[in-house]
Structure 1
Amino acid sequence: MPGPARRMHLGLTIWPTGFHPGAWRLPGSRSDGNSNPRLLQQAARTAERGRFDFFFIGDRVVGLTTSQFAAPNEVLRPEALTLAANIAGITEHIGLITTVNTTYSEPYNVARAAATIDHLSGGRVGLNIVTGKNVEAARNFGREQHWDNAHRYDWATEYIQVLQLLWDSWEDDARVADPVTGRFVDPDRVHTIDFHGKFFSVDGPLNVERPVQGQIPIINAGASERSRELGAQYSDLRFTNSSTLGLEGARRYYDDLKSRLPRYGRSVSDQLIVPGVAVYVEESGRAAHEAYATLQALLETGPVHRARLSEALGVAVTDAAPDAPIGEVADLALLSDEGLRIVGSARELYGRERVTVAEVNASFIRGGLFKEVVGSPTQVADVLEEWFSSGAADGFMIFPPTVPHGVEAFVDLVVPELQRRGLHHRDYAGTTLREHFGLPRPPSRFATGVDAGAVAG
C-alpha cells in the first residue's frame, strides 16, 4: 500500500510590525507590535488555527536606529525565550521555535530555559541557533570585538554538544518519587556530563527534568560552508533564503543540503528544508497587486539604492524620474539576463507591464531578502505547490507583510486551498514539535544499552 501523502510544513515568522518596513505606516496599523501582547498572541493563535507546524520567533541582541527604514523590527525586538514562554501559555498545539544567539549566551542557562519551556508547552519548543552578524553586539557583552566566522562556528558546535548532553543528563524515569521509601530521585539515573572542550567546561547535570521531546529540535540558517556543515550535523530543520535563487537554484540548494546528511549518519528524512517566502494574498489577484503597490510606495529609498539598480541592470537610471516607465528610460533589449529578470519580476509583482523606475527599484530592494508571491489564493497555492512538489522545499516559512492582516489572509485564504489540494493537514497528527516534523523521540544517551553515538547527532 502507498505510504501517507507528503505534507507541506508551514511556519509563521513573526515580525510584529509586519515584514514590510512600511507596514506600520498604513492607516489602522500598529507601531507597538513588538511590545503588544495581544497582537503577538493573536498572531500565534491564528497560525495555530491554520495548523501551522510552528511559530518562529527571531531575535537580535542589538537595537540599531539606523535599521529603522529598512527593518524597523530589528530596532525593537522582544526577547525570544520570554516570548516563547508567553505564547506557550495561550496555545495548545503549535510549535514554538525561539532564536538563541550562541555567541552571546551560555549553554547551561539556555538548556535550562528551553527545557523549562518544553515542559510548560507539553513538548513544543525548538531552538534556532544563530551566531550573530552584528559587530556592535560585542560591546553589549563586554567584549572588544565580534569574533570571526570560524571562531563563532567553533563555539556554536561545542555549545550544541553541551545543550544536548545536558538535556540527556536526566534519564526519563530518574524521578521515582516513591512514597514508601521516601526516595525522590534515583541518583544512578541522573548524570554529570563532565564536558571539557576548547570553550566550555560544564559538569552538569541540568536541574530540570529531561525535556518532553527528549531532545529539543535544533534549527539553523545561513549559506556559508560552516553553517551548512553545522546544519548537516545537528539541525532538524534548515531555514533558508534559497527562494531568492529561483526555482532551479533552490532545487540545487536543497540537493546540496540533503547530500551532506549521510556523512553524519543521517538520512535525508532527518532534516527539513524550509525557505522563506513573503506572501501578499487577497481574495483576488488584482486586490493583492494593489496591496503590494501600496506598501511598496511606502518604502524609503535613496541614491545608493538607485545606483545599485543601475549596476544590476547595466543601464544608468540614477537620474531618471521616479515615475518614468522603465521602458522609456532604458532600452530593454540591451539589458543583461539579470536585468531582464529584475524588470520581469517587477512586472509580475505589480501585476502589469507598465512599471516605473521607482517600482522596479522597490521590487529589486525587497526581492533580495526572500521570494515574494503576490496574488489570489489559487495563484499563491500554485507557486507553493510547484516549489514543494519539484524538490525545492519541504515547506515554507511564511513572512506576512502586515500584521495581523497578512497572517489572517494567509490562514483564511491560502490554507484552505492547500488543504483542498491535499498539501496541508487539516489537523495536528501529534502533540510535540518533533511529531510535527515527523521525528522520533530519541532515548537519553546515558540510558543503559543506548549507543551514545547514535543519539542526537
Structure 2
Amino acid sequence: MPASPRPMHLGFTIWPTGFHPGAWRLPGAPTNGNSSPALLQSAARTAERGKFDFFFIGDRVVGLPASQFAAPNEVLRPEALTLAAHIAAVTERIGLITTVNSTYAEPFNVARSLATIDHLSNGRTGLNIVTGKNAEAARNFSRNEHWENDRRYDWATEFVQVLRLLWDSWEDGARIADPETGRFVDEARVHRIDFRGEFFSVDGPLNVERPVQGQIPLVNAGSSERSRQLGARYSDVRFTNSSVLGLAGARAYYDDLKRRLPAHGRAPREQLVIPGVAVYTAPTSREAHELYSRLQALGRQDVDLAGLSAALGLALTGHHPDAVLDDVADPADASAEGALIIGEARELHGKNAVTLREVNSSYLRRGWFKEVVGSPAQVADVLQEWFEQGAADGFMIFPPHMPDGLEAFVDLVVPELQRRGLFRTEYAGRTLRDHLGLARPGNQFADAGVPSDTAAVVGGE
C-alpha cells in the first residue's frame, strides 16, 4: 500500500511497571523496572526496533507512596535527564524526549545538560517542559508554597526564552580549531545573552556548543489556557489527553491548538498534536479483551457504589460489587453520561454482562487516556480513524504492562500500520527533528548579525 502523504508519528512512554496500576502483579512481571538497566535498555531498543519517533521519559520531583494503588509509577521515578543520557548510549536512531519541571529548575543547567545529551546522541534529544501539579514539591526545594498556575507559566515562559538564547549563544562553526593560527574559537561567533527578566538574570554564553539540532525540540502538555499559550508560541509537539474527549471532542481540541499557531508566525504543520493512548492488544480480539479484564481485576480499587450510582444515574447501593449490572438495574434508565460509561465498559471487556466492579474499574480509568482493546487490525482501525479524521498527528503509546505490552504493540500493531502505509518501515533521518519532520532552525544571533558583545535582552524575545 502506498505511504500516506502525511506520516503518522508514534512515541513510546516508559512506565516501567506498566500503565495499568495492577500490571506489576502479573506473574513474572518486573517490579524493579525504575532501577533496572536491563529493562530500561531493552524497552528503548524494542521501541527503536518498532521505528518509533521517540522514547518519552516523564518525571516527577516528589515521592508519593500514597499513590501506589492508583499510580505506582508516581512512587518511584528515575531522574529523567540521567536516564535520557543512559538511553542515548544504548540506542542509535530513536529520539529521546526527557522531562524537566521548570518550576524547580534553573535554565542554564538544563540548557547545558540537554545540549550535552544532544551531542552525545547525535541530535536525538527533545525536552518536555512541565510546571508541576504537586504542591508537595515546594518543600523539596526550600519553598513555602507551590506557585499558582499563572506564576508557574510566567516562570516557564522566561525559562524557555533563556534556553533558546543559550542554545544559540554558540553559532554553528564557532569552534574553528585552526592549527595555523592557534585559534580554537572564533569569539565573534560566541555570544553573551545578557537576559534580564522578572525571574532570571543570565549572562551566558553556554559552555557547550550549539546542539546538533540547533534548537532542541520542545514539548508541553496541559489543557489550561496558559499551557495552550505557551505551546502555541514555543512547542514543537503538544502531548495531550484529548483522546478521552471522544473523536469529535479530540478534533475540536486539535483544531483549537492548530488555530493558535499563525498568531506566532507558525504554520500548523510546525506543531504536532500527539494524544496519549493505552493499547491492550493480542493476536486475537478475544485474547486482548481477556488481557484487559485480567489487568482490571489486579487493580486494588474499592468499589464506591454511591459514587458509581451518581455517575451512571442508577440506584446501585446495597448490591454486591460482583453482581452483573443488568441483574440489579436497567441500563436503559441510565443517564446519557452513564449510558456512555456502560457502553465503554462493555466494549473494553468485550462482553455485555459486565459486573458493577468491572464498570467501576473502567470508569475510574477513563479520565487518563483513551484505552483501546483489540486485535492488531482493530487497534490500527482506531488509530487510523483518529489520524485521518484530524484528531491527531500521531499517538503516545502507553503499554498497559511491561515489557510484553510494548513488544505486542511493536510486533503486532506496527506491522499493520506499515502495511496500510501509515507508518515508516525505516528511519529516513538521524535526528529527532528529522523524525518529526521539523526543519533545523537558523541561529537568532547569526541571522540578526549580532556581535558577540550584544546588549542585554530584557524580558526575552
Same fold (TM over 0.5): yes
Aligned counterparts of 2:329 and 2:148: Cα–Cα separation in 1:
42
The answer to whether structure 1 residue 119 and structure 2 residue 115 are counterparts is no
* Counterparts of 2:352 and 2:313, CA distance in 1: 20
Instruction: Give the secondary-structure state (helix, strand or coil) at the position aligned to 1:61.
Output: coil
Match for residue 10 of structure 1?
10
Alpha-carbon shift at residue 449 of structure 1 (Å)? 4.6
Q: Do the aligned partners of 2:3 and 2:421 also contact (CA within 8 Å) in 1?
A: no
Q: Match for residue 400 of structure 1?
A: 399
**Distance in 2 between the 1:235 and 1:448 partners?**
21
Partner residue, 1:372: 371
Unaligned runs of 5+ in 1: none
The amino acid that maps onto 1:319 is: G
* Whole-Å separation in 1 of the counterparts to 2:230 and 2:354: 42
Tell me the residue number matched to 1:230: 230
Distance in 2 (CA, whole Å) between partners of 1:341 and 1:254 is 22
Superposition pairs of residues 43-442 of structure 1, within 5 angstroms: 43-303=43-303, 305-442=304-441
C-alpha deviation, 1:36, in angstroms = 0.3
Deviates more, 1:8-17 or 1:306-315: 306-315
Distance 1:308 1:265 in 2: 47
Q: TM-score, normalised by structure 2?
A: 0.96
More displaced, 443-452 or 412-421?
443-452
Give the stretch that moved more between structures: 338-347 or 323-332.
Answer: 323-332
Please give the per-residue CA displacement for 1:223-250, whole angstroms capped at 9, x wherever unaligned: 0000011100000000000000000000
Deviation at 1:316, TM superposition (A): 3.0
Gaps of 5+ in 2: none
C-alpha distance in 2 between matches for 1:3 and 1:262: 28
Q: Distance in 1 between matches of 2:368 and 2:284?
A: 25
Tell me the SS of whatever aligns to 1:139: helix
Distance in 1, matches of 2:39 and 2:317, equals 40
Kept in 1: contact 2:4–2:421 (CA 8 A)? no
Q: Secondary structure at the match of 1:396?
A: strand
1:444/1:450 contact within 8 Å kept: no
Percent sequence identity over aligned pairs: 70
The alignment partner of 1:56 has SS state of: strand
Structure 2: distance between partners of 1:75 and 1:402: 17
Q: Secondary structure of 1:128's partner?
A: strand
Task: State the secondary structure of the residue aligned to 2:298.
Answer: coil
SS in 2 for 1:360: helix
Shift of 1:366: 1.2
Q: 1:148 to 1:5 in 2, by over 3 A?
A: same
Deviations 1:131-167 (A, max 9, x none): 0000000000000000000000000000000000000
Q: CA deviation at 1:40?
A: 0.5
1:329 is displaced (CA, Å) by 1.9
SS at 1:172's partner residue?
coil
DSSP-derived class of the 2:176 partner: coil
What's the offset of the Cα at 1:403? 0.7
Measure the CA separation in 2 of the matches of 1:38 and 1:354: 41
Residues 4 and 17 from structure 1, CA distance in 2 versus in 1: closer, same or farther, beyond 3 angstroms? closer
Q: Closer, same or farther in 2 for the Cα pair 1:409/1:445, shift >3 Å?
A: same
Figure out how many residues of one structure are paired with residues of the other and give that number: 453
**Match for 1:259: what amino acid?**
R
Whole-angstrom CA distance in 2 between matches of 1:42 and 1:180: 47
Residue 311 of structure 1 aligns with an amino acid whose one-letter code is A
Cα distance in 2 for partners of 1:58, 1:296 equals 24
Secondary structure in 2 aligned to 1:208? Answer: coil
- Structure 1 residue 306: deviation in Å? 3.5
Runs of at least 4 residues of structure 1 off by over 3 A? 448-453
SS at match of 1:184: strand
Distance in 1, Cα, partners of 2:308 & 2:179: 73
Q: Deviations over 1:276-326 (max 9, x none)?
A: 0000000000000001100000111125x4433222111232332111111
Q: Residue 238 of structure 1 aligns to a residue in which SS? A: strand
Distance 1:8 1:327 in 2: 41
Deviation track 1:56-83 (CA, whole Å, cap 9, x = no partner) reads 0000000111000000010000000000
Contact 1:443 1:450 in 2 (8 A): no
Q: Deviations over 1:158-197 (max 9, x none)?
A: 0000000000000001001000110000111000001000
The root-mean-square deviation of aligned C-alpha atoms, in Å, is 1.7
Residue deviations 1:112-141, cap 9 Å, x none? 000000000000000000000000000000
Q: For 1:91 and 1:373, locate their aligned partners in 2 and report how far apart those are by CA, in whole Å.
A: 29
